[in-house]
Amino acid sequence: MNDYPGQVGFAELSTGLCLAEPVRIMSNRAAGYLLAETIFLTAFVILAIHLLGQSYISNVLWFVIPAVLVAAALIPTILRRDRFTQISLTIRQIKFALSIVSLTCLVVFPAAFAGFWLLRSYGLELPLRVALPQNQPWLSWVLYQFLYVAVGEEVFFRGYLQSNILRLTNTAKWPCGLQNWASIVLSAACFAGAHAVVHGQAISILTFLPGLILGWLFVRARTLVAPILFHGMANICYCIMAMLLA
């Protein structure tokens, strides 16, 4: 049950089923405001991170960028007196998130390694730039991938952006499957576009593919824990694959 009138809880939206008895879906005006806010804030965040990368504080971006992403997701939610997407740390959902992430990794990572191996066998470079730890303990680098990179990006792109898309499409009464897949594809497109703009490389648009997986995990597991775990593991495994294939 949602405690806020006029809002629809994410836990209900992300089940993959239509709401049998929705709790007062947003009005058209409220939906319009949410749409405008989401578009503006997404564009602002991408531009802000791009400018930060070119500024004199680039040496502390490891902390600034995740902070910007988390703040951009939480501040408007607080101002709207809304509830942010649940992270859901119940034992049941943690077990489910771990199981679905494990299965996804078992399918995705071997396939990715095989594809990268074929690229290298033909003398081609890996498609995305690799950020290997330099003069940094591996443990701190691993923690950074999970606690800063994965958490920051997933809180914004899945917790804020994809959740808003789900609410908007639910208000527009789109079919259930279309709601879920629209949120997955659109959030993945914004995720990939952000990487392309921030990195200044068109090839970074390939992050659209892992973005699809992250969005699917978010909808399927109904918790941010699943995409955060997969995101961190994917970053680490990509770097390990790059070193093995160097």
Tell me which of 158 and 3 has the higher pLDDT.
158
- DSSP 3-state of 85: coil
Residue 199 domain flag: yes
> pTM of the entire structure?
0.87
CA pair distance 222, 93, nearest whole angstrom: 8
In the block, tokens 């995990």 appear at 217
| Cβ-contact 168, 12 below 8 angstroms | no
162-171, 196-205, 234-243 — which is least confidently predicted? 196-205
- Provide the mean pLDDT of the chain: 84
Find the length of the chain.
Answer: 246
Tell me which of 137 and 120 has the higher pLDDT.
120
pLDDT of residue 27: 84
Question: In the predicted model, is pLDDT for residue 18 greater than 80?
Answer: no
Residue 1 domain flag: no
Residue 176 domain flag: yes
Q: What percent of the chain has pLDDT over 90?
A: 50
Question: In the predicted model, is pLDDT for residue 85 greater than 80?
Answer: no
> What is the extent of the structural domain holding 86?
10-244
Burial 95-116 (b: 16+ CB within 10 A, else e): ebbeebbeebbeebbeebbeeb
| CA nearest to 86, candidates 7, 24, 14 | 14
pLDDT of residue 246: 81
Question: In the predicted model, is pLDDT for residue 20 greater than 70?
Answer: no
Confidence of residue 113 (pLDDT cuts 50, 70, 90): very high
Residue 2 domain flag: no
Question: In the predicted model, is pLDDT for residue 99 greater than 90?
Answer: yes
| Cβ-contact 149, 224 below 8 angstroms | no
Which amino acid is located at 229 in the chain? L
pLDDT of residue 94: 86
Residue 195 domain flag: yes
Confidence of residue 50 (pLDDT cuts 50, 70, 90): confident
Average pLDDT over residues 186-202: 91
Tell me which of 21 and 235 has the higher pLDDT.
235
pLDDT of residue 167: 92
Residue 16 domain flag: yes
Tell me which of 55 and 38 has the higher pLDDT.
38
Which amino acid is located at 97 in the chain? A
CA pair distance 55, 61, nearest whole angstrom: 10
Residue 155 domain flag: yes
Residue 5 domain flag: no
The total domain count for the chain is 1
pLDDT of residue 162: 95
119: how many CB neighbours lie within 10 A of its CB? 13
Q: How far from chain centre, in Å, is Cα 105?
A: 16
Question: In the predicted model, is pLDDT for residue 57 greater than 80?
Answer: no
